[in-house]
Structure 1
């Protein structure tokens, strides 16, 4: 069992201390703070007070916790994005909505892509991320003392806690998991619970950690983890520093923005959160990335906040870095038509087409060989119609394109989604050559320029330029072929590329070859004179 607590909290503190104010009497204080069945005379005896009607202002009055009034407290849902369900202690299930108040015994479950924030009676907050299950085991208020006892059970998933400094020995904020228990007083920390165990990361405050016979002190910026079935020793592990988000643009020009930042030394991955709330009360995106970059989901126009933390090799999330950004919504981008997502383009100068956008006076576009659109290979912002052909030929490979609108006043709207496509031309084969050795003993060899990797070729020979009767019609894996037992005279030949998906290119104009008649008699002897002409 893993136990976390602030090092400065004394374990023996069982009394709540009240400082006497002018006009206070034990009679009044007993009625205000003591639970039914506890008489004010017991308070007099406990504090050895001679005159219960004359209390000196400033006197410290000690009241045992077990004597204090206790009332059920409630937790309120202050933010919600996505779908979440609550199941009461009686087994009743209902959808969670913002503003809902939950009592002890409630069970919360967040769906994929959902998140919510709870505020407790003392003002502390908890953010429950997607795919999590949390049980509100105890929500108790100690009358008018200001002390609140909050005990939660995280069955699975992730929580981020911001716990206010708790006043008095009865104030508690405890999060249990199947493998660990954390008790804190005034700190910011995260808890992750899963099949492999529990992880805790302390962002603010000092937390004493005890596991079995071992104890350690987690200072701010340190974390630890307890594995299911593992040993009981703990070591504080320094959290990775916050990433540098200074390069994040304040205005994003795409409804599906892409973010990149310098890599953090030692990071095995990154956690990326996006929220419309500056305190990240609820999330529109909760993403993990193995690289220092991420593509966000499509976002509605508005103001957003980005939070990124580096993840070390053991799975601990490091310190947070935040950045604000805005999505400009108008004029809205058009819908891309061609090339479509994952499409193959057979020409090296792709034709881009899109729909007409309602507020667009003209359009802008970009083509790049990377999804972040660093150093676009083609771009323009003066396109008057709904189509453009890329001016310069593109080498074969993978590309991305996107298009946005510009209104009559020159305001540029966001780009639409980035569309990935592949330039894989099926160029006509117009360079068929004879083998450099001319005629060989095994026949006549021809070769031509290779196409794209994986492409095959159809080679044809005929006596007629119309190719109505074929002497040779073969598919070969390599850009070469050897033809045996060719009679002398004039031959016409051509070849076409065949791609991996079966798509065929066009035949180039046929080429003509003249074989000397003596070749008919002696075969393909070395040194024979062969003439290859284009029609």
Structure 2
């Protein structure tokens, strides 16, 4: 550790210094017996810590949580620039290490907070308290964040009960569906993060994993870190490491297997109707694929989620723009494997046409290994072709000095690999 001020802090003694200097000075007017009781209550129940001269986040973390390792979370939540230089008399939020309440970061489709009075549609910024029930509808996705920095994505057709585990832990009671979790690496292990079903319980020691419950089986895929699985009936236990998955049956044991590798030979195409098509050239016979599209690289804002037993997957139309795609194969146990991840420039195959003074400007996306021709004709069947031009570059194409009557146009493409010619787009030119 490098310290800019040139000194080295003795972390071992920081907690005692905090007690002697920060707390005893603050309550020096109180008799010793009262000070002892007050210190005990502060170490377990205080919401904030008032900074005294010389305090550091290591001191505060070690005193209140028994370890200095929680200082990064305190720094992040309290927006502290320098953990060595705390301003005296400022207040440090301590309950940020409590996961509750959860806040809604993102919702796509229908997701509800289920209460006795009915179902209330969740929206970004809503707070979700302990004991709440979350339900997602078909084709939907909900992303929530815990106060301690952990995040969870709840896909469609899932139902979860949020429970407190211990003093500052959380349990997702997964009644149906799935939850994908991103747990900060600096999160203390003694603050439990569990996934619970009637088949078994997952105790999370990792940072990125997926858990699903269907058909009376608990499935998990561990992408980073480690997860401990425990059977609810026969108390069997297993450790699932990074790159492994497991199936926990209600009546059987725990089966741990390596995750399938990411799919190879993936081709992505924007179609003329603004949908996205994914082709996997090297599928395994009978294999199921899962493909997801998100607007962020961490896949917290999932907008499309599909399962397919075909090597060709087509998504519903999306507005043009940049997206992120991940595809994973699912094995015979139902365990989702490692993902292949791509950035998509979704453009559609429409041709942009606009008039500037006496000229028409044509522009479209040029794919590799594909030749294009702009054709103009006096009739919609293109029997009287006026122009059959092959552009020499990928930039806008400017056409001027056209006849004043109605002109029909189309852009055709010739794929060199398949030797197929298709009409990319077509339309009519009418002078303004």
Q: TM-score range by the shorter chain?
A: 0.5 to 0.7
Q: Contact between 1:303 and 1:324, CA under 8 Å: does it hold in 2?
A: yes
Deviation at 1:206, TM superposition (A): 2.2
Call closer, same or farther: CA 1:382–1:305 in 2, change over 3 Å. same
Secondary structure (helix, strand or coil) at the match of 2:344 reads strand
Q: TM-score, normalised by structure 2?
A: 0.62
Which residue in 2 is equivalent to 1:217?
239
| 2:346 counterpart residue number | 327
Give the greater-gyration-radius structure (CA): 1
Match of 2:104 among 62, 68, 77: 77
Tell me the distance in 2 between the aligned counterparts of 1:280 and 1:414: 36
Matched, 1:280 2:299: yes
CA contact (8 A) 1:191 1:201 kept: yes
Q: Deviations over 1:80-131 (max 9, x none)?
A: 111211123x544311111111111221111111101110111111111111
- Tell me, yes or no, if structure 1 residue 105 matches structure 2 residue 98: no
Give the conservation status (yes or no) of the 8 Å contact 1:179–1:198. yes
The answer (yes or no) to whether the contact 1:331–1:414 under 8 Å persists in 2 is no
Q: Which residue of 2 aligns with 1:47?
A: none
Q: 1:157 and 1:18, CA in 2 relative to 1: closer, same or farther beyond 3 A?
A: farther
Match in the other structure for 1:6:
none
User: CA 1:112–1:375 in 2, change beyond 3 Å: closer, same or farther?
Assistant: farther
Q: What residue is the counterpart of 2:145 in the other structure?
A: 119
Preserved contact between residue 104 and residue 139 of structure 1 (Cα < 8 Å): no
Structure 1: any 5+ residue segments left out of the alignment? 1-16, 37-56, 143-147, 334-356, 365-372, 392-405, 416-535
Name the Cα RMSD after superposition.
Answer: 4.4
Is the CA contact (8 Å cut-off) linking 2:271 and 2:349 kept in structure 1?
no
Residue in structure 1 matching 2:375, options 367, 375, 382: 382
The aligned residue for residue 179 of structure 1 is 199
Distance 1:187 1:205 in 2: 5
The Cα of 1:243 is off from its aligned counterpart by: 1.6
Q: Which residue of 2 aligns with 1:301?
A: 320
Deviation at 1:316, TM superposition (A): 1.0
Q: Is the 8 A contact 2:173 2:197 kept in 1?
A: yes
Structure 1 partner of 2:71: none
How much has 1:138 moved relative to structure 2? 2.6
Q: Deviations over 1:148-183 (max 9, x none)?
A: 311221111121111123644540111212322212
Say if 1:114 and 1:25 are closer, same or farther in 2 by CA, change over 3 A: same
Looking at structure 1, the residues matched to 214 and 22 of structure 2 have their Cα atoms a distance apart, in angstroms, of 52
2:260 to 235, 240, 254: 240
- Report if aligned partners of 1:20, 1:60 keep a CA contact under 8 Å in 2: no
The separation in 2 between residues aligned to 1:390 and 1:259, in whole angstroms, is 36
Structure 2 gap segments, 5+ residues each? 1-12, 25-34, 47-58, 67-93, 385-394, 400-409, 413-432
What are the Cα deviations for residues 218-247 of structure 1, in whole angstroms up to 9, with x where unaligned? Answer: 12111111234x32x222111100123675
Larger relative CO (CA 8 A, sep 6+): 1 or 2? 1
Q: What SS does structure 2 have at the residue aligned with 1:33?
A: helix
Equivalent residues in 2 for 1:52-201 (5 A)?
Answer: 73-88=100-115, 90-138=116-164, 148-165=168-185, 167-168=187-188, 170-201=190-221
State how far apart, in whole Å, the 1-side matches of 2:380 and 2:313 are. 29
Following superposition, the deviation at residue 216 of structure 1 comes to 2.7
The alpha-carbon distance between structure 1 residues 300 and 94, as it changes in their structure 2 partners (threshold 3 A), is same
